[in-house]
Amino acid sequence: MKIIESLAHLDRRIIFLLVALAVIIPMIVPLNLPVDITKPVKNIYDKVESLPRGSVVLISTDYDPGSEAELYPATEAFIEHCFRKDLKVYMMGLWPAGSELGNIALNKIAKVYNKVYGEDYINVGYRPGGAVMLLSLGRNFSDVIKVDYQGIPIDSLPLGRRVKSSRDIFLVMTFSAGDPGILHWITYFHARYGVPICGATTAIMAPQQYPYLSSGQLTGLLGGLKGAAEYETLVDRKGRGLRGMDSQSIVHLLLVGFIALGNVILLYQRRKK
């Protein structure tokens, strides 16, 4: 069959073009597909809902621009949920660019909810040292953190004075794209100090977190852009996560089609031999 033979040598730039169209067209003409909520995501939502007003939530933005598309929408949705519940947000980043990306989200949402820097939220910037840093952090925050990201002494800020050790943190939410990240929060911070950990990871990392979900070391998990879309649905926020789900659906179907076509070609080639 000539069609199958010509498809077997399809120029990859045609594949690239089809993928691009599969993403662009649903963005321009949205399908507004409903998003189902999975249990790991609901667990995070329920955990935040259960926290008393004024509780301190530590948000760790452990990603860089390479994972911004997946994790930034989840960051915004989570921060909005925290501010809506009147929780205090203590932000830091184990990755240098993460602290800035988190800062952009934090300031944007804080303005909407009229939150006061230093009282309702704080950003202490980039903390190097990975896993070892987490151990010393949990014991004594002021040993590790001297100033916030603007260089203001941490003890001069009310929220900075309030958080002295892991005992003052009610929940850790990490937005993680790799190492250091969620695994260190679980095996070092949670294992040593017992603080509940929730995580949002890139979709690539999500399957590796399920053993920790199953063991209870991880309370909840947002996996990739779909996880962000689910959380946006729960907090009733029209963000980039939900916007991207139509394109995600069409591309996935396209790729399943590619896989099926590739295997049809394989069967044809085997029969020909």
Instruction: Give the chain's largest Cα–Cα span.
Output: 77
Nearest to 123 by CA among 78, 88, 81: 88
Question: How far apart, in whole angstroms, are the C-alpha atoms of residue 149 and residue 61?
Answer: 14
Tell me: does residue 194 bind another protein (CB under 8 A).
Answer: no
163: left (phi over 0), alpha (psi -120 to 50) or beta: beta
Residues 94-123 that bind another protein (CB under 8 A): 96-97, 99-101, 104
Tell me: does residue 51 bind another protein (CB under 8 A).
Answer: no
Tell me: does residue 4 bind another protein (CB under 8 A).
Answer: no
Cα–Cα distances in angstroms (integers) from residue 29 to residues 26, 125, 244, 257, in the given order: 5, 39, 12, 22
Stretch that binds another protein, among 31-39, 54-62, 108-116, 164-172 (CB under 8 A): 31-39
Neighbours of 153 (CB within 10 A): 10
Least distance in angstroms from the C-beta of 92 to another protein: 9
Using CB atoms within 10 Å of the CB of residue 162, give its burial: 0 to 12 exposed, 13 to 18 middle, 19+ buried. Answer: middle
Least distance in angstroms from the C-beta of 121 to another protein: 15
179: helix, coil or strand? Answer: coil
- CB nearer to another protein: pick between 71 and 87: 71
Least distance in angstroms from the C-beta of 86 to another protein: 27
Tell me: does residue 202 bind another protein (CB under 8 A).
Answer: yes
Residues 155-184 that bind another protein (CB under 8 A): none
Binding residue (CB under 8 A) for another protein from 64, 86, 168, 179: 64
Binding residue (CB under 8 A) for another protein from 2, 214, 272, 273: 214
The Cβ-side half-sphere exposure at 139, using a 13 Å CA radius, reads 8
Tell me: does residue 261 bind another protein (CB under 8 A).
Answer: yes
* x/- map, 225-254, another protein, by CB under 8 A: xx-------------x--xxxxxxx-xxxx
